[in-house]
Amino acid sequence: MLATCGQQASLRQSAFHGTRVVSSRHALPRRVATAHAHIVMAKQTVLVTGAGGRTGRLVFDKLRARPDQFVARGLVRTEESKAALGGGADVFVGDITAIDDAPLRAALRGCDALVIVTSATPRMKAPPAEGQRPEFEFPPGGLPERVDWYGQKAQIDAAKALGVRRVVVIGSRGGTDPANMLNRIGGNTNILVWKRMAEQYLVNSGLNYTIIRAGGLLDKEGGKRQLVIGADDEDLGVRSVPRADVAEMAVQALLCADAAGRSMDLVSREEGDGAPTTDFAPLFARARRGM
């Protein structure tokens, strides 16, 4: 029997990189041979970076809510963010752009998988005058080149060095168009260009990856909508998706063998338009192989 994402089983098929047994200090891995593949039963130890962020927090909480399947770790930037996540030993404090990557490595050591949810985040310069549009800027040290390129590259390098072979990235749609207006936030900061470069770096790294490029993020309840995938910013008729659904997609990617080596745009239909997605395996199976 092959486990699917929809079955929510604690099974993991090592189809992408042969028959690696997923190891964890917290569970003994057990390998089961079938006619087609080896299935690995094990808990996965997973680090979520950007775990104090709006989507990262949801991924972290979803992993923590499944202790039979995951040992969740989070990486945040400040002690305040750590306290907000409960302050336990499973929450590490570190800056992904720091020259000293010891905190990042400490968080990653012993992990089976990494979920990257860090991102440069623009902030409003000042409240706009009446009738004017707000202006945005990136905080000092927080430019996309630094966070989304250098910082993401540092995470990929650290994962590779430490033998963490599975990496899921939550990124953004829009990266195929250099003229996308998001690239002009705070000047020519090219956030989507740097994100795309980091994704290419991951693909070239030889690690086992899944790249989820979300549409406009909504702070709405998850599990209520039909999810839609696409590639390369194709017109999907809808443009947004709840953060909670993106987070669930990232968790399902860790459970679904077919998610490995794939990238996808992710949006959702309006609530009530179509059946809410419950089985994620077909979505991953339809996603593009490669970038």
**Which single residue is written with the structure tokens 């945005």?**
136
* Segment interacting with ligand NAP (CB under 6 A) among 59-67, 106-114, 210-218, 262-270: 210-218
Q: Which amino acid would we find at residue 182?
A: L
* 172 belongs to the catalytic site: yes
Helix (H, G, I), strand (E, B) or coil at 41: strand
* Segment interacting with ligand NAP (CB under 6 A) among 30-38, 45-53, 82-90, 199-207: 45-53
Report in angstroms how near the CB of residue 43 gets to ligand NAP at its nearest: 25
Report in angstroms how near the CB of residue 256 gets to ligand NAP at its nearest: 20
In this structure, what token pair is assigned to residue 235?
């017109």
Using the rule CB under 6 A, which residue among 56, 186, 222, 230 binds ligand NAP?
56
User: Where does residue 84 rank: exposed (0-12), middle (13-18), buried (19+ CB within 10 A)?
Assistant: middle
Using the rule CB under 6 A, which residue among 46, 72, 108, 214 binds ligand NAP?
214
Residue 222 binds to ligand NAP (criterion: CB under 6 A):
no
Q: Which is nearer to ligand NAP, 14 or 49 (CB)?
A: 49
Residue 104 CA to residue 64 CA, distance in Å, equals: 20
| 248: phi then psi, degrees, rounded to nearest 5 | -65, -40
Distances (CA, A) of 196 to 26, 74, 116, 153, 255: 35, 24, 14, 11, 24
Contact by Cβ (8 Å): 199, 263: yes
Q: Which is nearer to ligand NAP, 40 or 56 (CB)?
A: 56
Q: Which is nearer to ligand NAP, 16 or 194 (CB)?
A: 194
Q: Where are the alpha helices (DSSP H) in 24-101?
A: 56-64, 79-84
* Segment interacting with ligand NAP (CB under 6 A) among 3-11, 19-27, 123-131, 211-219: 211-219
Site track for ligand NAP across 84-123, x = CB under 6 A: -----------xxx-------------------xxx-x--
* Stretch 149-178 residues interacting with ligand NAP (CB under 6 A): 151, 170-172
In this structure, what token pair is assigned to residue 80?
């305040």
* Segment interacting with ligand NAP (CB under 6 A) among 213-221, 229-237, 248-256, 270-278: 213-221
| 61: phi then psi, degrees, rounded to nearest 5 | -65, -40
Q: Which is nearer to ligand NAP, 12 or 173 (CB)?
A: 173
Helix (H, G, I), strand (E, B) or coil at 208: strand
Contact by Cβ (8 Å): 192, 220: no
Residue 230 binds to ligand NAP (criterion: CB under 6 A):
no
Please give the residue whose beta carbon sits closest to ligand NAP in the complex: 53
Total number of residues that touch ligand NAP (CB under 6 A)? 26
Q: How many residues does the chain have?
A: 291
Residue 140 CA to residue 158 CA, distance in Å, equals: 24
Q: Which residues bind ligand NAP (CB under 6 A)?
A: 50, 52-56, 77-78, 81, 95-97, 117-119, 121, 142, 147, 151, 170-172, 214, 216-217, 243
Residue numbers annotated as active site: 172
